[in-house]
Every structure is written in C-alpha cells, then in structure tokens.
Amino acid sequence: MRIILIGPPGAGKGTQAERLTKKHGIPAISTGDLFRARVKDPNDPLGLEIKAILDSGKLVPDEITVKMLAERLEKDDCKNGFILDGFPRSVSQAEALEKMLKEKNIKIDAVIQLKVDDKQLVDRISGRFSCSKCKAGYHDTAKQPVVAGVCDSCGAKDSFTRRADDNAETVKGRLNVFHTQTAPILPFYEARGLLKAVDGMAGMDEVTTQIESALTSNNGGSQLPPPKKFG
C-alpha cells in the first residue's frame, strides 16, 4: 500500500504515519525527518544550507528534496509500500513523484488529507516536544509525561527536545506556506480520484479509524461525510 498524508504542520501526520507503519508494516517517510538528520553534521555544507531553510519555515528547493526522497524510495523496505509524510508539498513535487513512480510502474493508492483548524494549530505546535531517544511525543498542556523529565515510553531521563521551528512565529509562516504552496496539490489528487478527507481535529484514535475506513473504501472518492467547516 502506498499512501500520502497531507495536512498543515501539527495536523498529526507524524502520529498517524507511525500508527499506519505499525498496522501495515510499511515505512513512514518524512522529508522533514530526512532533512533534520542531514543537518546534524555541522561540517556538511548542504546540511547548513538546509538548516537555514528549516529555521525560516520555508520549503527546501525541489532539486534537493526530490533527490533525497527518490534515494529513500530506492531502499529495500519501500518495496511493499510506504507512507509519505510531508511530501509532496507543492504541485511540482507531486508531478515529480508521479513521474518517479510511473518509471517504477507503481501507483499511489490513497491520499489522505487531515483537515484542521489553523487557530488551534499554533497552540498545538508551539507546545509540543518529544523524547530524543524514542521519539515519543508530548505537549505542554495536552500530554505531559507522568513523571516530569522522564519519558513514559522508554524511561529516558532529560531526553526531551523541541524542534527549533516549532515556535509561534515560524509556525505562522509554515501555515502560510501550506496554504499557498501545498494546498494546490489537493485538486491535483482529487482529479486523480485519490483524495480522501478526514477530520484531523478529532481525537487521535478517531482520526486513525477514519483513515483506516478511507483506505478500505475503494471507489476512489471520499467515503466520509463532508468534513466540518472551521473558522
């Protein structure tokens, strides 16, 4: 199964991608994670260039992004499928992906859109942090660890970290980038009968249920009631 998750930053793509990975045994590929891994080496010039872009909240140029994604899709674990989280983020990337997959003679099965309310996203994102050891996610108000400073999942102490681009100012810029550059890919996939919308403001389990039901529906269109209107 080959799935694309689309939604603004903080919509819960990472959480849902992780759940899909566990259930379907296919890897979740986050271009944001690929970039964050690349910026770890302070002597890597490309890493430094990417870091400056990530900190600004803008999009990394297609030449870099598409190449990195293509290399990742070549790995063995992608043979039986994959979940894309954060790619494509523009029509040009969607076109590049379509071309790349056509050459491999494979197709995307579903594009899941997580619909969310912008106003709540800023709070959601600016409060989030995670364990650097096991990646478990937390939030200042919505989900604190049971014991302060200790990860509930792996027991690591003082391992919590926040993303540099998860501050209110950058988040607003990232939301703007989503609406101007990423949202135009929705009609692109709608036209191909692949787009399925789920209510990303629902509880995490409910969102997972909606995604699974969208994946089992097979007539190409959204099987869900029209998403709620926000704002």
Query: Footprint of ligand AMP on this chain (CB under 6 A)?
Result: 9, 30-32, 35, 53-54, 57-60, 65, 86-87, 89, 93, 165, 174
* Known catalytic membership, residue 133: no
* Known catalytic membership, residue 163: yes
Q: Which of 19, 38, 72, 174 is catalytic?
A: 174
Residue with tokens 């036209």: 191
Residue 127 Cβ, how far from ligand AMP at the closest point, in Å? Answer: 15
DSSP calls for 31-83: HHHHHHHHTT-TT-HHHHHHHHHHHHT-PPPHHHHHHHHHHHHTSGGGTT-EE
Residue 50 Cβ, how far from ligand AMP at the closest point, in Å? Answer: 8
Closest CB to ligand AMP belongs to which residue?
Answer: 32
Q: Which of 19, 51, 72, 89 is catalytic?
A: 89
Residue 218 Cβ, how far from ligand AMP at the closest point, in Å? Answer: 27
Q: Residue 160 has which token pair?
A: 């919590």
Which residues in 182-213 are b (16+ Cβ under 10 Å) and which e?
beebeebbbeeebbbbbbbbbeeeebbebbee
* Known catalytic membership, residue 162: no
For residue 1, with 0-12 CB atoms within 10 Å meaning exposed, 13-18 middle and 19 or more buried, which class applies? middle
Residue 44 Cβ, how far from ligand AMP at the closest point, in Å? Answer: 16
> For ligand AMP, which is the closer residue by CB, 87 or 160?
87
Q: Which of 72, 124, 128, 196 is catalytic?
A: 128
> For ligand AMP, which is the closer residue by CB, 34 or 222?
34
Catalytically active residues are: 13, 89, 128, 163, 174
